Structure 1
């Protein structure tokens, strides 16, 4: 019965307009992390929106400054029920890309949540304010259905710099390793297979950016005299990169493959 009750509570939040009202407030905050003048809005999103809702859900939260100068703040929150229960960590980001107000077709605006047919439009409604607002609403529904208990421990991590490459996130996770320890991570920030089909990805993919250089020797050597005799760093690097994958993109280096 608790599952049915939780789903009904979630439907009521949607049909009553309560969810729309909450998301509208969040969309209205211009949390453009790519705008250097948006620091006040980035912090306000956490202090005025997420922290109060987390408190209503029984979380203890704190806002942590970014370890990287100029990076947006983070919100960490925890709701502990029992040491014997599993812990779920929910991730989201409250920053958005630039609004590009003039490029929206009338009557749409990036900062006003608008219903058009069966679609909702507003900057962040799909990336990522909508997703973590849904997750928080889902927690409220479970609490309502289970008489004030989740049946698991819960933690939140909301960042305000994902759209600029998540500066400081790695350092924060190292710094707050114990506070973020969990059995399960739910990161609702990815595409659906189709608009009509909610999709759960049981894993993640990504990239690691790095600079790789090779210094073969000190000083310069004229190619007219030394070309073909001395190793060319560019050729060495090209061959090294080519050895990582085959012509079809399959990984050839065992250490780069995921564990079995």
Structure 2
């Protein structure tokens, strides 16, 4: 009997995380969705996956609360064993993150600490906890941003936190490679989600401006980013590790 493939997607109750959970479910993964605050949203994603004929369940996790991560990992492993008779996980998508934007003279210590706690520290310690539950062929996909390549006013702290995540991607690929675990990074460009208040989804003027600066002439859709994540999670790209892959439609070239 073939064992199920299990994927964990953090921050999967909405936006890019939701689209990623759906994309992985369509490819036959059993999906664990984490959420920080809105369980009803997460349960809605689970229902959508089950309507596709897939398997999923939600579990709460605040990635910034590093003291809870080992306990979360133990609870997760017990639950996937109970539900799916799985002895570990196959894929971790470090999607949960926050975007706080402020210029040099407006940024606060609290914003700085929150960004790095959620966007860097959380993925590092969660990867450490779950890598122990991965076998040969495990995959970690970190979600960065095209803002590590191009810059704009007020994005310095956010971009710096994601640049740190990209550096972790390369370093952890070396450390986890001997265990057969691949670690890569997807860097989305402007995408029509609810991130940053849904500006790129709802602001027609901003969308038009960004479309004019993108080779393919429009803002991306969350499903297009999610499909790239799912491709990295598949066996088709099994010889790819330590890479940053930008999925931006040629934005701001």
Q: In terms of Rg, which structure is larger? A: 1
Structure having greater relative contact order (Cα 8 Å, sep ≥ 6): 1
TM-score > 0.5, shorter chain as reference: no
